[in-house]
């Protein structure tokens, strides 16, 4: 009889976006940093990502976060982010979910009130503040990546849509930022499919016309994301609110507003002089969920004003399960997978 191979999962969601946290069943990966381990997974073991995001185990709208031992002495755990488009080096919603899972799994002991710890992402160390009340993780605040506006107020003509004005931010990936009203959208749930179709056409048009380079990272690939922006409403001194929708893949509008999308919005508001350090922006999704971005500081890096920021949200645990991996199943593709499967719990 063949040994039964299983992968241990804790399914969570933040703002509606499901993050599957892999807590066990995967061998230790080679690499002296979490970034190097991510690159190994991407190049030599992509089967794990495909297994958990494709039928019969998952759907493209999910994300996967593999817990790995931290390589940095200050970090409680490391994590590698996997999404349908690949391996982003950072994600706000995935970090919120991973930090919650680390607490729920006991890797970091819960403490009442506010507690602080660090995680190691492929982008580096991430400071985390957790708020715990009566044993429940009520909120996670994590650092967003330093964000900046690469291109402001450009335009492109898109077949079937017409002229589209956009700006481009980097906040962990390059984002096209588009005013929703200018295209006739109110950012309501019934528009979800049309938003995805419009975003796909705009992104393809921008990709065909030009590329973007990060001021230190260089070429990080073609622009993948688009963030639709609703009107910004000031609801209190230093506190703003705006409806938002983030496109990440053909047919996929995120259920949340996304942490990196919110960071991109802060960079744009700073660039346009509409926000100052200490101010906050709450982004509201098509499903009425939200994240809060706080603009904490700004630094000049060459020609760019780089915005430092924090993202706050709440994650919910929705399932704990063992995935049974049966490579004889015709629905299961085990290429790039079997050599990293283990019966030991990595966490």
By annotation, the residues acting in catalysis are 91
Q: What phi and psi, each to the nearest 5 degrees, are found at residue 207?
A: -60, -40
Question: Cβ(259)–Cβ(96) under 8 Å?
Answer: yes
Structure token digits, residue 335: 């290429």
Nearest in space to 192 (alpha carbons), one of 243, 240, 262, 154: 243
Q: Is 57 strand, coil or helix?
A: coil
- Could you identify the residue written with the tokens 């509409």? 274
DSSP labels, 70-114:
-SSTT-SEEEEEEBTTB--S--HHHHHHHHHHHHHTTSS---SEE
Residue 103, token pair as written in the block = 């607490």
Alpha helices for the chain (secondary structure H): 34-44, 47-53, 92-104, 192-209, 259-271
DSSP 190: G
User: CB of 322 within 8 A of CB of 23?
Assistant: no
Separation of alpha carbons 153 and 167, rounded Å: 5
Element (H, E) at 38: helix 34-44
């Amino acid at each position: 009889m063949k040994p039964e191979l299983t992968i241990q999962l804790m399914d969570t969601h933040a703002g509606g976006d499901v993050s599957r946290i892999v807590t066990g069943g995967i061998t230790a990966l080679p690499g002296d940093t979490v970034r190097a381990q991510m690159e190994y997974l991407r190049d030599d073991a992509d089967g794990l990502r495909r297994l958990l995001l494709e039928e019969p185990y998952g759907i493209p709208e999910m994300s996967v976060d593999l817990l790995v031992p931290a390589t940095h002495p200050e970090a409680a755990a490391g994590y590698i982010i996997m999404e349908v488009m690949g391996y982003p080096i950072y994600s706000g919603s995935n970090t919120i979910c991973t930090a919650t899972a680390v607490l729920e799994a006991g890797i970091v002991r819960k403490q009442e009130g506010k507690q602080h710890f660090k995680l190691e992402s492929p982008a580096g160390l991430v400071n985390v503040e957790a708020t715990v009340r009566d044993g429940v993780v009520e909120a996670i605040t994590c650092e967003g990546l330093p964000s900046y506006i690469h291109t402001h107020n450009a335009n492109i003509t898109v077949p079937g849509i017409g002229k589209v004005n956009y700006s481009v931010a980097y906040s962990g990936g390059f984002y096209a930022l588009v005013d929703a009203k200018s295209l006739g959208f109110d950012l309501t749930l019934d528009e979800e499919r049309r938003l995805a179709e419009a975003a796909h056409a705009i992104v393809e048009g921008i990709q065909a016309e030009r590329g973007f380079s990060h001021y230190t990272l260089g070429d990080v690939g073609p622009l993948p994301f688009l963030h639709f922006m609703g009107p910004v409403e000031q609801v209190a001194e230093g506190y703003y609110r705006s409806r938002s929708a983030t496109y990440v893949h053909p047919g996929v509008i995120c259920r949340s507003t996304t942490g990196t999308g919110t960071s991109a919005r802060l960079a744009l508001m700073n660039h346009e002089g509409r926000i100052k350090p200490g101010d906050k922006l709450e982004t509201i999704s098509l499903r009425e969920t939200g994240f809060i971005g706080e603009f904490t500081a700004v630094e000049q890096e060459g020609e760019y004003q780089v915005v430092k920021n924090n993202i706050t949200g709440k994650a919910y645990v929705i399932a704990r399960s063992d995935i049974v991996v049966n490579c004889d199943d015709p629905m299961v593709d085990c290429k790039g997978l079997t050599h990293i499967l283990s019966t030991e719990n990595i966490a």
